[in-house]
Structure 1
Amino acid sequence: MRVLVVEDEQLLASTLLIGLRAEGFTVVAVATGVDGLARATEEDFDVVVLDIMLPGLNGYEVLRHMRSRGIWTPVMMLTAKDGEYDQTDAFDLGADDYLTKPFSFIVLVARLKALVRRATPQRPAILEAGTLSLDPSRREVHRDDVAIPLTPREYGLLEYLMRNKDSVVTKAQILQNVWDANYEGADNVVEVYVGYVRRKIDIPFGTRTIETVRGVGYRLASEDLS
C-alpha cells in the first residue's frame, strides 16, 4: 500500500513515516500543501493522510483541487481542531475520513486499511496464486494450510507481485511501490529480497512461483512453474 503523508509537524510526520513503514506500507512524506497536491496528482497512491493546517495551501484547498481534477484517492484528514464545522467542511469537499489530534496510531492504521478496502472493491479479499494465498486484511500468507511468516518488507514485495500476477514488473516499479520513490540505494536490494521471499514461499514446499525475466524484472505466476 502506498501512502502519501502531508504533514508539516516534523515530529508527527517522522513518527507516521517510521510507524507506517514498520507496518509494511510504502510512505512518501511532504511538508507543504503545494508539494502534497503535486505528489497526489502526479503519482499513484492508495490513500492520502492530509493535515488541514499546512503552509502554502491548507488541507481544504489541497483536497478541493484534488477532487476538481478527478483525483479520487481516499483522503484521511488530520487536524488539531475539534468541531463539527471542520468535519462538515472536510466531508463536503470530498474527504473520506477524519481524525482529530492527538490520535491512536493503531486506530489510524486500521482506518487507513478500511479506506483502501472500501475504495477498491475490485480487489479480491484474498489474493491467490496456485496454492499460495495472501490475505491483505489479516496480513497473512499461507501455502496450502501452512502459515508463512514474512517481514513487513517481504510481505510488501509479495503483495505487490501478487497484485500484478502473471505480469512482468521491473526493479524500478518494485522500488517505487514497495520501497518509495525517493529510495537512492542500489537496485540489487530487490534481488536480495526476492531471494528472501523465494526461500520462504517456494523452497520449503518444492514449488517455483517467482520467475526472473532476465534484463526486465520479475513475474509471479498464477500456477506453479516447476
Structure 2
Amino acid sequence: MRVLIVEDELYLAEAIRDGLRLEAIAADIAGDGDSALEQLAVNAYDVVVLDRDIPGPNGDDIARQLAGRIESPRILMLTAADRLDDKASGFESGADDYLTKPFALRELVLRLRALGRRPATGTPPVIDVAGVRLDRFRREVYREGRYIALTRKQFAVLDVLMAASGGVVSAEDLLERAWDENADPFTNAVRITISTLRKRLGEPWVIETVPGVGYRIST
C-alpha cells in the first residue's frame, strides 16, 4: 500500500510517515494543497491521509477533485474538526473515512488497512494465487497452508505482484507501488527484494522474471 500524507505540520507528517513505514505502508508527504495535487498527478496512491486546514487548495477542495475522477485513491480525512457537522461536510466532500486529532497511530493504521481492503480497483482483501495466500489486513502469507514470515518490504512487493493476477509488473512499477518517492530509480533494491522473496516462498518458484519487462506470479 502507498499513502500520501497531506499535512502542513511537518513534525506530525514525518511522525505519521515513519510510523506507517514500520507497518509496511509506503508514505510520501505533501505540505500544502498545490504540492498534494502535483504528487497525485504523477504518483499512484491507494489512500490519501488528508488534513482539511492546509495552505493552498484545502482538504475539501482536494477531496472534491479526487471524487470527480474515474479512478481515485481512497480519502481518509485526518483533522482537528471534530463536530458532527464537520464530519458530515467532510464525507459530503468525498471522504471515505474520518479520524479526528489527537489520534492513536494504531487506529490510523487499522483504518488504512480497512480502506485497502476495498480499493477502487476491487482487489479483494485476501488473494489466493498459485497456492500462495496473502491476507492484506492481517499481513499474513501462507503457501500451501505453511506460514511464510516476510519482511515489510517483501510483503509489499508480493502484494503488488499478486494483485496483478498474473500480469507482468515492471521494476519501475514495483518501485512506485512498494517504495516511497525517495526511492532511487537506479537502485537494485527491487531485484534484491525479489530474490530474497523467492527464497522465502520456497520452491518451486512462483515469481517469474520476464526478461526486459518485469516480474509476475506464475499461475
Q: Same fold (TM over 0.5)?
A: yes
Q: How does 1:62-73 map to 2 (within 5 A)?
A: 62-70=62-70, 72-73=72-73
Give per-residue Cα distances to partners, 1:57-107, cap 9 Å, x unaligned: 211222123224455422111112321221121112121111111101111
Residue ranges of structure 1 left out of the alignment (5+ in a row): none
CA distance in 1, matches of 2:70, 2:214: 32
8 Å Cα contact 2:72/2:120 also seen in 1: no
TM (normalized to structure 2)?
Answer: 0.92
CA distance in 1, matches of 2:50, 2:146: 39
Please report how far the alpha carbon of residue 132 of structure 1 lies from its aligned counterpart in structure 2 after TM superposition.
1.5
Q: Is 1:106 aligned to residue 103 of structure 2?
A: no
- Aligned residue-pair number: 219
Query: Which residue in the other structure is 2:190 paired with?
Result: 190
Residue ranges of structure 2 left out of the alignment (5+ in a row): none
8 Å Cα contact 2:3/2:26 also seen in 1: yes
Residue aligned with 2:61, SS: helix
Q: How does 1:212-223 map to 2 (within 5 A)?
A: 212-222=209-219
Q: How does 1:33-112 map to 2 (within 5 A)?
A: 33-70=33-70, 72-112=72-112
Residue aligned with 1:169, SS: coil
Give per-residue Cα distances to partners, 1:101-128, cap 9 Å, x unaligned: 1101111111112223234583234212
8 Å Cα contact 1:175/1:187 also seen in 2: no
CA distance in 2, matches of 1:213, 1:162: 15
8 Å Cα contact 2:6/2:51 also seen in 1: yes
Give per-residue Cα distances to partners, 1:140-178, cap 9 Å, x unaligned: 111112111101001001111111132221111111111
TM (normalized to structure 1)?
Answer: 0.89
Q: Considering only aligned residues, what root-mean-square deviation do their CA atoms show, in Å?
A: 1.8
8 Å Cα contact 1:34/1:62 also seen in 2: no
